[in-house]
Amino acid sequence: MTRWNAPVRTAAAARFYQAAEDDRVVRPERYRLGVDAVDLVIDRASRGGGDAMFGEVADWKPGLEHYLGSAAEDGRLNALGAKNAHSTAVGRLRARAAIDTYLREHPDLEQRPLPAPIIITGGWRTGTTFLFRLLGRDSRLRAPLPAELGAPWLLAGDLKPQQRAERLAAAASGHQMLHILNPAMAAVHDSGPDLAEECVLAMGTTLRNWGFTATTRWTGTPAGWPGSRLPRNTVSTGASCESSMPTTDDDGSSRRRHIPRSSNISSRPIPVPA
């Protein structure tokens, strides 16, 4: 068995960590985790507008409580980790509201016929990302980019090439920080705004999907929660990614289709729409 050793922190990485520690002193509310931080996250995500914009409370609040509780109790996070966990919760709630708004403003979108996606599934480190990106280079297929998964409403519709390029480039900062914090990560799973990514980036608007269990060692099983029927602005598995998110196909051609990737082989059941 290969033992993993944390990379030595570079000077650039040390600056990121120190900046988070300094910022936590000034703005401690942005680093709070645990169930007690739920109302704070809701207020920040809604910009003081209340939780009505996020839809049925039962669809997302249990997941939010579990996620923030686990981040506080299990995550053992430093300031930078706490900030990222808190911001992730805020971002996923805002994504719920944005997706719901877009779908209400474009009701015909959900009726648009879509070709069946190609599903790639496999265990960790078995080459699924390589195959996924290789297939994505075929001009007849379409593999989604990180920004298209994380904020699809910003890239939907008829955008000029320059507008699209600018919005894709705006997503680069997160990848750059990851590469600085862990330079060895690129050898395991390279990432960037122009590299296709799996659909886990589109999941999480209920804060119940497997991606959250991987980041905070949360041991709960979302499939065991009662009444787990997922709302329309939810992406729960790679297979449902295409039908649940605003499409970003370049020309609307039926020849082109997204290639959702789902490498979530684990011991935890994953909720699917009833």
- Is 31 exposed, middle or buried (CB count within 10 Å of its CB: 0-12, 13-18, 19+)? buried
Least confident of 152-161, 202-211, 231-240: 231-240
Q: What is the mean pLDDT of residues 223-230?
A: 40
The residue extents of the domains of the chain are 13-110+126-214
Decide if pLDDT at 143 tops 80.
yes
Name, in order, each residue with C-beta under 8 angstroms of 212's C-beta and a sequence gap of 6 or more. 63, 67, 70, 204, 218
Single-letter code of the amino acid located at 128? T
DSSP 232-256: TT---SHHHHHHHS----SS--TT-
Give the pLDDT of residue 206: 81
Name, in order, each residue with C-beta under 8 angstroms of 132's C-beta and a sequence gap of 6 or more. 120, 143, 196, 198, 259, 261
Give the pLDDT of residue 54: 93
Calculate the CA 233 to chain-centre distance.
13
Give the pLDDT of residue 4: 65
What pLDDT, in 10s, does the model give residues 147-161?
888 888 888 888 899
Least confident of 86-100, 142-156, 175-189: 175-189
Percentage, residues of the chain above pLDDT 70: 74
SS percent in the chain: helix, strand, coil, step 5 = 55, 0, 45
SS3 of 184-223 = CHHHHCCCCCCCCCCHHHHCCCCCCCHHHHHHHCCCCCHH
Most trustworthy range by pLDDT among 144-148, 182-186, 201-205:
144-148
Which residue from 152, 149, 146, 239 is spatially nearest to 190, judged by alpha carbons? 146
Mean pLDDT for the chain overall: 76
Give the pLDDT of residue 255: 36
Give the pLDDT of residue 22: 97
Give the pLDDT of residue 73: 85
Question: 13-110+126-214 domain in CATH 3.40.50.300?
Answer: yes
Decide if pLDDT at 220 tops 60.
no
